[in-house]
Amino acid sequence: MKRLIVTLAILCVIAVAAVAAFVCSGVYNIGADAPHTKPVYVMMQALRERSIEHHAKDIVVPNLDDPQLILKGAGQYAAMCTGCHLAPGMAENEMRPGMYPKPPQLSKFRPDPREAFWVIKHGVKMSAMPAWGSSHDDATIWSMVAFLQKLPDMTPAQYKDIVAKAPPDEDMDMDMGGDHEHAHDHPDAGQPPGMAMPAGAASMATPSSAQ
């Protein structure tokens, strides 16, 4: 038994040393234009999805059918999100193809509200998803979540119409044609999903492919 323990300890030391040597060698390509290898992709995807599910599971969802909440969310989305996530009727831009993981088109699916709130508020490490909770309060983030529940059903004309009626996020430059940019600061600082995105917000930041 003692020999087995010693053998396992030696193997663990060798494994740790091998991992450390691999990391220090710098041979793994961290470039955004080189997708993760399959093992790394699977591990990171599982880690991301389980982490978001775990941290979002106890979030209490408010009434997301409030028309004013949805309207506010439309303005926030147009100002903050379309540069990465597009909108109905928007074509691909120059930035998205070079992003990895590639941000999902949020008009293509309806994310889980709890997970969407958590992702928007806290962001996702090693992705382009920022933590908007550092500059937007919970009420504002819930407005975006409410809007995301309606977005998949909107036509380009309906999207433009609701954005035109929405109160803008004062710090954002908004173009009603749909070409908006993110901003990183907001006067109403407060504490407020994802990604490759199928049914949940965990997909709001999932890599689209692996080697």
Each residue's pLDDT tens digit, 100-118: 999 999 999 999 999 999 9
Q: At 29, list the tokens.
A: 């390509």
In a domain, 211, yes or no: no
Predicted local distance difference test score (pLDDT) of residue 202: 55
Predicted local distance difference test score (pLDDT) of residue 126: 87
Q: What number is the average pLDDT over the span 174-193? A: 36
Q: How far, in whole angstroms, is CA 45 from its chain's centroid? A: 13
- Cβ neighbours, 10 Å, residue 30: 8
pLDDT category at 203 given cuts 50, 70, 90 is: low
Same domain for 59 and 123, yes or no, is yes
Identify the sign of the CA torsion 150, 83, 112, 131. Answer: negative
* CA distances (Å), origin 159, targets 74, 75, 78, 145: 8, 10, 9, 15
Question: Considering its fold, how many domains does the chain have in total?
Answer: 2
Same domain for 82 and 173, yes or no, is yes
Q: At 96, list the tokens.
A: 């998205």
- Write the pLDDT tens digit of every residue in 118-134: 999 999 998 889 999 99
pLDDT tops 80 at residue 198 = no
Same domain for 81 and 167, yes or no, is yes
Q: What number is the average pLDDT over the span 193-206? A: 44
What are the two backbone dihedrals, phi and then psi, of residue 173, each rounded to the nearest 5 degrees?
-85, 115
Same domain for 13 and 101, yes or no, is no
Same domain for 79 and 152, yes or no, is yes
Q: What number is the average pLDDT over the span 65-93? A: 95
Predicted local distance difference test score (pLDDT) of residue 201: 52
Q: At 32, list the tokens.
A: 């955004």
- Write the pLDDT tens digit of every residue in 2-33: 889 999 999 999 999 999 999 999 998 989 99
Predicted local distance difference test score (pLDDT) of residue 168: 72
In a domain, 210, yes or no: no
In a domain, 16, yes or no: yes
Q: What is the residue range of 165's domain?
A: 38-205
Where is average pLDDT lowest: 65-79, 165-179, 197-211? 197-211
Same domain for 90 and 128, yes or no, is yes
Same domain for 95 and 163, yes or no, is yes
Same domain for 106 and 127, yes or no, is yes
Same domain for 198 and 139, yes or no, is yes
Same domain for 14 and 46, yes or no, is no
Same domain for 19 and 88, yes or no, is no
Nearest to 167 by CA among 70, 85, 93, 86: 70
Same domain for 11 and 83, yes or no, is no
In a domain, 91, yes or no: yes
The C-alpha atoms of residue 78 and residue 205 are separated, in whole angstroms, by 19
In a domain, 12, yes or no: yes
pLDDT category at 170 given cuts 50, 70, 90 is: low
